Amino acid sequence: MAECGAAGELPQRRVGAKEQQNGEPIDSELAVDERKQRDREERETLVLWKKPLLTLHYFTLELLITLKGWICRLWQQRQTVFGLLILLILLSIAYRIEGTHQKYVRYMEKKTLWCAYWVGLGILSSVGLGTGLHTFLLYLGPHIASVTLAAYECGSVDFPEPPYPDQIVCPQHEGSISLWTIISKVRLEACMWGAGTAIGELPPYFMARAARLSGAEPDDEDYQKFEEMLDQTESAQDFASRAKVAVQKLIQKVGFLGILACASIPNPLFDLAGITCGHFLVPFWTFFGATLIGKAVIKMHIQKLFVIITFSRHIVEQMVSLIGAVPLLGAALQKPFREYLEAQKAKLHHLRGEGIPTEENWLSWLFEKVVVIMVCFFVCSIVNSMAQSYAKRKQQKYSESKTE
């Protein structure tokens, strides 16, 4: 483990005066920019659908380098890891020994796994600066919609606590139903998902902060694009770039309240917030606290309200009626939507032990296939990204060997 200190480290690019030969610079600024652009275009061709074998080979090598770096970091923190292992062993013993404490253990296990599931989905949704899996549209949004439809059909939210079973059955008695009761029913999973999206903003923050403090040029194209954006004048930028600069200035000048404002609304320009705050050395708890409150509390309630109102009973019925008003295709499109809604309502009123209808609507079949395709695309994007990272390592080593 003596060589762990250098594990995963990239060769540092020289910054400052260029090497000279006979008093002349070896490479001009233009030549360096052209070489970087050529290397970037070469890396972008390294994808599974163009070069599958080479991409998988580079992905495997990058994965091994990443795993080695993680193992070395764990070894450096071995006292903490040892303490966590002891705690895990004690929890395992408590989990296996019978006693009156088992009901509390089972309750904590269920809640912990449920929260970890949604936090993980939230991290996946925000990691990668916008290239992650958009799990709100694929998981949290449909989950809130299904609970909303069940609540209006049952007239109550007294069905089981999350994690829900495969079949939600309406209770025998009806209670009072309101917008607030539905919000309360899905608050835990929504807030956990929002907390996960806030955690997903931390890696670029730490990368940019470390780069600013060390003065070294980081091995990250997003950070390089960010610095190029700051160097450009506003007149030379398009609307999207000017908007990003405006968000950057708001965060830099207003601080906590600026970060909170940007994190509290569905904001695609928040992608560079972590880099911005890290670059300008915003304190960690200022950045993470504002991001956590904005995403896990304010923004999530806005999104929940939108989904719940959209899938309330009268809105859904109006939407189905509007589909029927579409010329020529209206009746054909309206029928499967009505069948799907009726099937979902029927499932809610099945008593336990009764048979559940096995007929599958083509809408649910289509949604399942879309989810599978999106997950596969996300996995492919991870493989491509890691393969391109390894290709960048090779290009940097080659350029370093030329300058030595």
Residue 19, token pair as written in the block: 């090497």
Q: How many CB atoms lie under 10 A from the CB of residue 354?
A: 9
Residues 6 or more apart in contact with residue 359 via CB below 8 angstroms: 343
| Sole residue written with tokens 């994965």 | 63
Instruction: Say which range, 31-35, 238-242, 356-360, has the weakest mean pLDDT.
Output: 356-360
Whether residue 101 has pLDDT greater than 90 = no
Averaged pLDDT of the chain:
76
Model pLDDT, residue 137: 80
Burial of 69 (0-12, 13-18, 19+ CB in 10 A): middle
pLDDT tens sequence across 197-211: 999 888 888 888 887
Structure tokens at 165: 């079973």
Residue 366 has pLDDT above 70, yes or no: yes
Supply the pLDDT for residue 67.
92
Give the whole-number percent of the chain exceeding pLDDT 90. 13
Instruction: Answer whether 122's CB lies under 8 Å from 193's CB.
Output: yes
Instruction: Judge whether residue 243 has pLDDT over 50.
Output: yes
Read off the pLDDT band of 250 (50, 70, 90).
Answer: confident
Per-residue pLDDT tens for 149-195? 888 878 788 877 666 665 667 777 766 778 888 888 889 999 999 99
Cα gap 197→200, rounded to integer Å: 5
Burial of residue 130 (CB within 10 Å: 0-12, 13-18, 19+) is: middle
User: Rounded to the nearest 5°, which phi and psi values hold at 21?
Assistant: -135, 120
Per-residue pLDDT tens over the stretch 37-79: 787 888 888 888 888 899 999 999 999 998 998 899 889 988 9
Distance CA 141, CA 305 (A): 11
What is the pLDDT, as a whole number, of residue 110?
87
Determine the pLDDT at residue 99: 81
| pLDDT of 83 | 92
Whole-number CA gyration radius for the chain: 26
- Interatomic CA distance for residues 9 and 208, integer angstroms: 16
User: What per-residue confidence (pLDDT) applies to 190?
Assistant: 92
Instruction: Give the pLDDT mean for 306-310.
Output: 85
Q: Name the β-bridge partners of 277.
A: none
- Tokens 């939407």 -> residue: 319
Residue type at 162 in one-letter notation: P
Report the chain's terminal Cα–Cα distance, integer Å: 29
Distance CA 115, CA 66 (A): 27
Q: Are 122 and 200 in contact (CB under 8 A)?
A: yes
Cα angle, residue 195 at apex, residues 190 and 198 outer, rounded to 5°? 130
The three-state (H, E, C) secondary structure of 70-122, written as one string: HHHHHHHCHHHHHHHHHHHHHHHHHHHCCCCCHHHHHHHHHHHHHHHHHHHHH
Question: Of all residues in the chain, what percent carry a pLDDT higher than 70?
Answer: 72
Closest CA to 122 of 381, 300, 311: 300
